[in-house]
Structures are given as structure tokens and as C-alpha cells.
Amino acid sequence: MSSIADRTHDWSGEAAAARRRRRYAADRRLRIYGMSAIGIAILLLGILVTTLVFTGYRGFIQTTISLPVTFDAELVDARSPTEGNYREILSRSIEQLFPGLEGPALRRAGQILTNNAQFLLRSAVYDDPTLVGRTVDVAIPASDPYDQLNKGIIDRDLPENRRRLNDEQISLFEQLEEDGRVETRFNWGLFFNADSRFPELAGLAGAIVGSFFALLVCFLISVPMGVGAAVYLEEFAPKNRWTELVEVNINNLAAVPSIVFGLLGLAVFLGWFGMPRSAPLVGGLVLSLMTLPTIIIVTRASLKAVPPSIREAALGVGASRHEVIMHHVLPLALPGILTGTIIGLAQALGETAPLLLIGMNAFITSPPGGLLSSSTALPTQIFIWADSPERGFVALTSAGILVLLGFLIVMNGIAIFLRQRLEKSW
Amino acid sequence: MAGYAFLAIAVLSIVAYFIGQSAGRRFQAQVGREVHSLPVYHGAFVAVWVGIPALILVLLWLLLQGMVINQLLLASLPDDMTNGVSSARLSLLLSEIHNVAAGRIFTEPSPAIVEAAERYAVWERIARWAMLVVGLSAAIVALFVARSRLAPRFRARNGFELFVSGLMIACSVAAILVTIGIVASLVFEAMRFFAIVPPTEFFFGLNWEPQMPIRADQVAGAGAFGAIPIFVGTLLIAFIAMLVATPIGLFAAIYLVEYADSRVRNVVKPLLEILAGIPTVVYGFFAVLTVAPAVREAGSAMGIAVSPNSALAAGGVMGIMILPFISSLSDDALKAVPRAMRDGALALGATRAETMMQVLLPAALPGIVGGILLAASRAIGETMIVVMAAGLMATLTLNPLDSVTTVTVQIVTLLIGDTEFDSPKTLAAFALGLVLFVVTLSLNIVALKIVQRYRESYE
Amino acid sequence: MKTREMATGQDEGNGTPASSGRSFAENQRLDREPNPLKATARDVCVFYGEKQALFDVNLDVEDRSVTALIGPSGCGKSTFLRCLNRMNDTIAGTRVTGRIELDGRDIYEPGLDVVELRARVGMVFQKPNPFPKSIFDNVAYGARIHGLAGDKSDLEEIVSTSLQKASLWNEVKDRLHEPGTGLSGGQQQRLCIARAIAVSPELILMDEPASALDPIATAKIEELIDELKENYCIVIVTHSMQQAARVSQRTAFFHLGNLVEVGPTEQIFTNPQDQRTLDYITGRFG
């Protein structure tokens, strides 16, 4: 019994206890590493969300100047509201707003309003021709620097040469503030305006419509094709080298970088088939090719989850294989397919790179009228704004991102809801 | 017109369904149980034969009509306008004709163009009507043929199911077609690129200046398409991303598998999933807005000059994006190790750390390595973060504080804006795309093989 | 081997009735000298979340002998076994009440070191679970983490002795550095036994160690258990009554989370005191 292997051990002795203390210390260290890793990840997510919210909330509010406008019947005809001399109406209003100013000083004062103010007046009359001949207060968005000033981004206490606005400009604005003409209101234009060169007028309407069209195309193509392919591969295909090839192919397709799909779209859809650039149809086609593998994989997983006993039971009463699938397997797999589809579409909604290559990053100032008209999409609009030099676009970019994230949260929320409500576990 | 065609086909299919169904009912009334298929299958059989082929015909027509008309237009133009002209010029001509035909006249067009525009408008009209006529007649012919085949002993169900099977097979073949399309378009355009720029220069050249004005007849002397700096830049940024993502992701997975109780897991996992679900354009903006200035500031506080588009900022943010990917794949791999293995170690008196580091982690290593490879392939193919946060100039450097460019950045910058399909600048993007595709595909195949073999070993 | 006299355990054992209503002393046949007690369980209840899996189990385990736990599946025998080295702790939501003593010390007392406990109480599982490492590393693992070997030759000695004790040495001595997962099922299980005894535990728990094995491998394991009892205290869970009869000195019958009857194996199988035990051993249920 002298062998070390037969020796009994003094587990409670000092040496053993010290060793255990060391081992527990190592255990605690690993735990701390893990906790810090998760802490870092969550911290980064927190920083990301906080910066977006802190820069983005300003995009949801807008500084407007309530401008007293007289729609002089001499200058505009109620019967053809698009043809009035709005430039003159506007400059008279500005004169009224700043009595005592003239010449270049008045022109500088007029820059407090957005550049497109006269077009806003035009659309006001277009919407309501009875305005002609009356004097009303019209809320006109302030131009970007004054908007920044009102939101406190331009610091009034900085020395003059380090601000974008000089003392004269600030005192003009402060005069308007004293008159109670400056208002801060919710920026509905963010949702109802299309893109613009001026941040105070730019909105997401075009991008939202473009994304909707592209997703619609993506949905109409990828879902039937994906489900069809998945049903064939899972339920009918013989297990041979050919189907194995298809399977490997689909798995790899799911991991191909998205930009490669953009190259495909550019070369094939635009180059070979001559489809129009920037069209939501082409965007949708490219996105559907990207989403297809996801949908096939998810559908196959849901089909696999349906227990074979159900198939056997249906076959046993004399149903054909197609009837088994149509009547029993697909309905049972539907919640999973639906969830996967929504998640796939959410991914497609956030996809940017392939849309850049097919030109969905164009500068387009009206929402697309159809599948073939030029358009942007939400993520490409965000990209365009992020690239724009005006300070006001920073807030708009963040706001646009928050809107995009909002859509994604809603879609994923629906998917989670469906999964919890409908999915059975066998 | 296309809309009317689709509508007409849909209406015809529905009509066909009811015709078939009523035929089925009549058979049932005549011969009772001797009828092979239910009336719905008679209806469905006729409907799919009426609807689907006509639909495919119209879609193909729409796809090819533009191409054919353009070819005819070019052929009809006077020879002196088209002979020996670059394809860019030809496409300009075509778009001018289209514009004139649509009434968007910017400069006074030449008489030949005006004539062509008139021809174009006429052909366009003819083509649309022809499409409607061809589509509808196909549907009607199919209706009569399919209807004539119906009979009490006709196997309408089998016929319908065969058709559906055919459609499903076509769908799975489409997945292959996508791959073929990718390979074909990349290889085809890349070949044209390599006809202009020799591959040796592309793969081994150290100088990348594609923005230099290059005329087609001067290319040979340019020497501006050496992609090495781009490859190095791509690897540098991907490496930084992996350096950030791998330890954090792996330790997070270890904590979630071994230490976290279910409450912590239920909170942390969705948070990580959110991190994974954020679109990359958002990360790109985050990099530009927050991380790059922070890195720059930190650098200047330490007296180091940092480029505003530093590889560190782009790679770091990409690391955040990849992180949830690594943690969830590692989590899966660790969980796939049988519980018995863990019990065995714990029952011997191993601490949790020892169980994890000495038993579970080595056992899960193939799965984790596969996951890391998949993540690396993602990092290499990631576009938006680097487009927004990395540089455009191809500098050959390994300094993470410098600005480098990547394959994806170059593809986007080369192709953004109007593109002509035969300038080497455009074609270079496809050559880069081909390299990107081949590299990520190989990484994926290897990674999926490893992961699959690993899963099998525990099943 | 440690053979500390546990007077308290003896006293309690004599004084406390088992759940069947008979005292410990009554269950002892006098024709066998009882060994000193290694472990005692008093009023042990186990809850998995809301569900109670064990009800007031009182059981004594003698040193240097084999105690078999039998009963139909789901009766709580494995649950009880896993209480003895606190492996139940690793399942979330498990709660154990009552008192389990190993050499007179409550193993559920706060501040007790589970790592130390599990080093003293080895365990062999139902399905062989060698680590995906070499045979040598498998056996050496426990000795390494607990720092039992001073140097390499110590470690080699521990490995070879343990493999010899597990009667696996002759089959694997030429391929110690091949993966343990490459062995046959029976060999893997003996490897796991060697891995457990390499730490020189005082008590070895075996959870149906032969249920996944073929009859020949099973016979080898049973033979091994018989040899090991000369030096170790063994508690074995088995669903095979024949196995319990062959290898154990004392047998405890569990049913629906209750310890129905415990006594010398011979008595349980020839003259059970409880109707349920009789029904079980005669095959009326389970």
C-alpha cells in the first residue's frame, strides 16, 4: 500500500484547502471575464442606442416660424393656384415680419425661413384655395442653422467667429422668439415629405414607399419559391447527390455577402435584361434572391418539426402525398414558416449594400409612383443622409435610423408573438 | 398593359377552375364512384394549365421585350451612327431615343433619333398588344386542350399533383440558378476586366488608383489596378473585428452556458439578438458619428495621430456587429456537448471553470472554430460599415490607426453613380467581387463542413 | 482507506425507524458482522421545482460493502444517489431537505466545499462518458485537478494502478494516448470507473453502470464491483434485480419516491417484509 495510487488523501488538510482556494479563485476569474464580456456587449448596445436617441430625437421635432402671409388676389388666382407669384407673396410677408429692414439685411433675415418657403405657400393655396385674399399665419420651417440654434446645438455663448450664425442673425431670431413667432413642433414632415436638399424639409416618405414596394416584390417572389423549394426538398426529393448539391448550395447561398447579390443584380437585371436603375422592382428582385435561402432553411426546419406520425396517419387513410402536405403538414408548419418569413423580410428591410449597387441611392424628391419609378429605400436613405454635409442631417439620419429600427422591432415583435401564440411543441 | 395581362390570366384561370369543377361534378352525377378524382382536382388541373404557362410566357416576354426592341432599334439606325461605337455610346443613344419617345427632350435631337423614337413608340405599342394577345391565346388554347382531356377515369388529381411537383422542382432549381447567375455574371465581367488588365497585375500589383482617367486605348500603360493594398486592408479590418469579437463573444457564451441562471440568460440573449438584428448601415453611422471621433480623440490625447477613417474604428465597430454571431455559435457548440461530459467532470470534483476550460471547451472547439470562420467570412464580406467608416484611398499599411480601404468599399465606390459596362473601372469591381465571392465561399464551405462534422460526432 | 468510527451514525441508525416502520436493527441479519457506517441519510426530501421526488428517506450505508438501490423507473433511486455527492445541485430548481452525513459531517451544511465532497465521493454514470481526451488524460484528470501527483511518474503510477484496479490495464496499456472515446462501450465504462477511483474516493456512486452494456461487458463490470468493495464503499443504482442480488450486500427498495424497505440483500429477495417489495421482486410491476 505504499503506492501513491493507494494513498488516502487528506482532503481537509491545509495544503488541500489552499489548493482548492486557488482553484476557486480561477473559477471566479473566469466568471468575471464572462460577466465583463457580457457587460461590454450590453454597454456597447447601450451606447449605440443612446447616441441614436440623443441625436435622433431632434429629428422628430422641428422649429417653425409662424409667418403672417397675405395671399393677395392680385398675385394668385384661386382658380389656378399653381401659377401665382408666390415669390412676391413671400417677400412681402418677410417685409411685414421684419419691419424696418431692407435691402441685403432683409434678404439675410429672409434666410431664417427654409429655402423652399414659396413652394410651401403654393401647396397651402393648392390645398385650400379659399386662402386667396386673406391674411393668415402659416407655419414655415426654419432653415437648418436657425433650427440648430433653436434646438441648442449652436451655442449662443461661443465667440462669434466660432459659430455658424453671427450676432446679427441671432438677434433677429431672438426678436422673432420675443414676438412668439417661433414654435417647436413635431416634425410630421419626417414621415410625409420625400427627400430634399434642405434638412428642414427632408423626409422619409419616398424611402418608406420605396422600401414597401421592394419588400412587396421580395415577399411575392421569395415566399412562394422558398416554400415550394423547401417542400420539394424536404418531402419529395430523393436523397441523392443532386439534392445534396442543392442543399449545400442553399446553405452557402445564405452566407454569400450581400454585396455580391448587388453585383448580380447590376450585371443581370440592369445589364443583361435592361431593367431600369433605382427601381423598387429590381431592388425587390435582388432582396428576394437574398431572402430565398433563409426562407427555404426556415421552412424546411418547420416541416421537419412536424412529427412523421401525422404523415403516416394521413397516408394511412388513403391521402396522396400532396394531400398529406397540403392538408396536414403545411398547416402545422405554417407558424414556423410565417415567423421565418417575417424575420427574413426584416433582414431584407435593413439591407443596404445591394441596393446601392442597383442605384437605389438616388436623390429623388417625390415618392415613387410604381414599381418601375426611381426610388430610395429606408436604409439607403439613411446612407444618403449620413453622407450629407449639413449639420441638420445628423439628427435626421439618427431619426431615420430610429424609424427603421421601429419597423424592425414591430416586425420582429409580430414574429415573436406568432411564435409564442401559434407554435406547438411536439 | 402588363397589369391587364396578369388580371386577364387570373380571371381566365378562375373561369377554367369552375369549368373543370363542373365537368367533374357531371362525371360524378353520371358514373358515381367510378370517377377517379374529385371535382376540385378537375378544376385545379384545368386552372393550373391555363394560368401558369401563360403567366410564365408573359413574364418572359416582359423580361426580353426591352432587350429585343433595343437590338432592333440599333439595327435600324443608320450605320454611321452605330459602326465601331463603344457600347457606352450605344446605351447613351438608346436612352436618348427612349427619352425623346417619352417626350423628355433636353437638346434638339437629330432627325435619325426622332425617327427612331417614333419607331420605338410604335414597336413598344405593338409589343404590348402582342404580349396580351399571345398570353391570352396561350391561356385559351390551354383551356380547350386541358378541358378536352377531362373524363370520368381521367387522373386529374395525379395530373395536378405532377404539375405542382414540377413547379416545386423548378423552385429548387431556381436556388441553383441564383448561384449560377452569381458565378456567371462575376466570371463573365471579370474575364472582360482581365482582358484589359492582366491578372498578374491585379493580384500582385501594389498600386491601386482606379479613379485615374483611363481611356480604353491607354490602359496597358496605366498600372493602377494592383489589388494587394485592398486585400491587405480588408484583412486588417477583418482581423481587428475578429480581435474584438472573438474574446468577447466567446467569454459571453461561456458565461451564459456555465454560470448564468435562466433569468440572466432570458435577458442577455435577446439583447445579443438585438445587436445581431441591427442593420449594418446603422453600425456604419455609429462608427462615423461616435467611434471614429472617440478613437481620434483618444489618440490625440496620447499624442498619436489617428486618421479620421482609421481601420481601428471601422474594425472595432464591425467587431461589435460580429460579436453576437460568435457568441451564439459558441453557445450552440458548447450546449451540443453532452451533459454527461459535464456531469463526469463535476462528479470528479472539478470546479465549473475547470469543467468549462478543460472538458467542454476542448470538446466544443471544432464547432467554435467553425463559427469563428463563418464570422470571419462575414467580416470580410461586410460592406456598409466600411463604406461609411473606412477610407477610399488604397494605402498599403498594417497600421490600424491609418486609413485603409477594403474590397467591398472599392466595389461600392467603383459602381456608385452611372456605370458603363466596359470601362475597366466598372469591370474591376466585378473582378473584386469574384475574389470576394470565392474567398467567402471557401471559408463558408470549410466552416460548414467543420460544424457539421462536429454536430454529427455528438448525435 | 479511511475507517473513522462514526459513533453518532451508529446510534442514530439504531434509534431511527426506516420509512417502512421497522428499525435499522431489525433489518440487520445477525449472521453478518455489520461494517461501520460510511454515510447516513435522515428524512431526506428532494423537490424538483414544485414536484417532490423523494419523501423522508432514511438510509444507512455501510463501509466496504455494496448497497444496491432498486425500484421501478422514476422511483427516486437515482435522485437519492445524486444527493450523496450533491450532483442534484447542478440541476436548476432542485431543493434538498433533511440531513445526509458522510463520516458524520452533514454534506448539505452551508460552507461545505462541494469540490472536496465530490473528490471524496466518486461517481460512475449510466452511459459511459469519457472525456474527448486520451485514455491517459481521462484517468489522470481528477488527479491533475486535485493536485494528487507530485510529478509525472506519480501521475503515471496513479493512472496505471487505477486502470489495473478497473481491470482495463491489459487492454489499453499499449494505447494510453489514443482517445478514450475510441474504446468499446464496456471498456469506456471501465475507463470511467478507473477515472473515478484514480482520485481514491471513499465512496463510489454508480448509476446503473451496466444498463447500456452487453451481457459480457456487464459481467466484467459486476466482477469489478465485487473486487472494488474490498477497498471502497459502493452505492449502486440498478434496475436489474439479478444484478442487485449478485453484487450487493444490502438492498434498498424505492417506490414512488419512498424508501419502502431496506435490509440485507438475501432477506430482501427471499423474505421481504413489505407487500410492495414482494410484488416488485416477483415481477408484478415495474
Is the Cβ–Cβ distance between A395 and A59 less than 8 Å?
yes
pLDDT tens by residue, C189-238: 999 999 998 988 889 999 988 888 888 888 888 988 988 888 889 999 99
- What is the average per-residue pLDDT within B159-187? 90
Q: What ipTM describes this predicted complex? A: 0.89
Per-residue pLDDT, C28: 39
Phi first, then psi: what are they for C261, rounded to 5°?
Answer: -155, 140
Q: How far is CA A311 from CA A237, A372, B295, in A?
A: 16, 44, 59
Interface of A with B in 8-47 (CB under 8 A): 23-24, 26-27, 29-31, 33-38, 40-42, 44-45, 47
A178 and A113 in one domain? Answer: yes
Interface of B with C in 330-349 (CB under 8 A): 338, 340-349
A285 and A217 in one domain? Answer: yes
Query: With DSSP H G I counted as helix, E B as strand and the rest as coil, what are the percentages for chain B, rounded to 5?
Result: 80, 0, 20
Is the Cβ–Cβ distance between B232 and B398 less than 8 Å?
yes
A350 and A317 in one domain? Answer: yes
Domain extent at residue A122? 61-192
A410 and A381 in one domain? Answer: yes
Q: Closest partner residue to B346 among C90, C92, C133, by Cβ?
A: C90
Question: Which homologous superfamily is B228-457 in?
Answer: MetI-like (1.10.3720.10)
Per-residue pLDDT, B85: 67
Confidence of residue B455 (pLDDT cuts 50, 70, 90): confident
Each domain of chain C, given as residue ranges in start order, spans 7-281
The total domain count for chain A is 3
Asked if residue A200 is part of any domain, the answer here is no
User: In angstroms, rounded to a whole number, what is the distance separating the alpha carbons of residues B211 and B29?
Assistant: 77
Q: What's the mean pLDDT when you consider all of chain C?
A: 83
A231 and A333 in one domain? Answer: yes
C96's enclosing H/E stretch is strand C94-102
A231 and A107 in one domain? Answer: no
User: In angstroms, rounded to a whole number, what is the distance separating the alpha carbons of residues B382 and B283?
Assistant: 11
pLDDT greater than 80 at residue C83: yes
Is the Cβ–Cβ distance between A383 and B281 less than 8 Å?
yes
Per-residue pLDDT, B422: 65
Would an 8 Å CB–CB cutoff place B358 in contact with chain C?
Answer: yes
A114 and A26 in one domain? Answer: no
Q: What DSSP letter does each residue of B169-186 carry, written as one string?
A: HHHHHHHHHHHHHHHHHH
C94 compared with A103, residue with greater pLDDT? C94
Each domain of chain B, given as residue ranges in start order, spans 2-162, 228-457
Interface of B with C in 368-427 (CB under 8 A): none
C233-237/C203-207 β-pairing: parallel
User: In angstroms, rounded to a whole number, what is the distance separating the alpha carbons of residues A339 and A423?
Assistant: 10
Interface of C with B in 192-211 (CB under 8 A): 192, 195-196, 199
C22 compared with A112, residue with greater pLDDT? A112
A124 and A52 in one domain? Answer: no
Nearest to B242, CA basis, from B318, B313, B353: B318
User: In angstroms, rounded to a whole number, what is the distance separating the alpha carbons of residues C33 and A406?
Assistant: 78
Residue that the C-alpha cell 465606390 belongs to: B413
Per-residue pLDDT, C3: 37
Confidence of residue C285 (pLDDT cuts 50, 70, 90): low
CATH class of C7-281: alpha beta
Spans in chain A with pLDDT lower than 50: 1-2
Per-residue pLDDT, A163: 78
Would an 8 Å CB–CB cutoff place B258 in contact with chain C?
Answer: no
Question: Cell numbers of B279, please?
Answer: 442593420
Local structure of residue C17 (DSSP, 8 states): B
Per-residue pLDDT, A26: 93
Taking CA atoms, what residue in B is nearest to A267?
B185
Q: In this complex, do C145 and B350 lie within 8 Å of one another by their Cβ atoms? A: yes
Q: How many CB pairs under 8 A join B and C?
A: 67
pLDDT greater than 60 at residue B108: yes
Per-residue pLDDT, A40: 94
User: In angstroms, rounded to a whole number, what is the distance separating the alpha carbons of residues C34 and C27?
Assistant: 11
Would an 8 Å CB–CB cutoff place A246 in contact with chain B?
Answer: yes
CB A242: neighbour CB atoms within 10 A? Answer: 12
Q: Count CA within 13 A, CB hemisphere, residue B288.
A: 23
- What is the average per-residue pLDDT within B11-22? 91
Measured between beta carbons, which residues in chain A are less than 8 angstroms from residue C196? none
Q: Which amino acid is at C60?
A: D
A236 and A219 in one domain? Answer: yes
pLDDT greater than 80 at residue B212: no
CATH number assigned to the domain comprising residue A247 = 1.10.3720.10
A305 and A162 in one domain? Answer: no
pLDDT greater than 60 at residue C26: no
A94 and A18 in one domain? Answer: no
- What is the average per-residue pLDDT within B27-36? 81
Residue that the C-alpha cell 411685414 belongs to: A96
Per-residue pLDDT, B214: 43
Measured between beta carbons, which residues in chain C are less than 8 angstroms from residue B348? 118-119, 122-123, 141-142, 145, 195-196, 199
Taking CA atoms, what residue in B is nearest to C194?
B348
Q: Which amino acid is at B396?
A: L
A248 and A139 in one domain? Answer: no
Least confident of A326-330, B181-185, C10-14: C10-14
Measured between beta carbons, which residues in chain C are less than 8 angstroms from residue B353? none
Asked if residue A300 is part of any domain, the answer here is yes
Would an 8 Å CB–CB cutoff place B270 in contact with chain C?
Answer: no
Q: Closest partner residue to C129 among B343, B350, B351, by Cβ?
A: B343
pLDDT greater than 50 at residue B161: yes
Would an 8 Å CB–CB cutoff place C93 in contact with chain A?
Answer: no
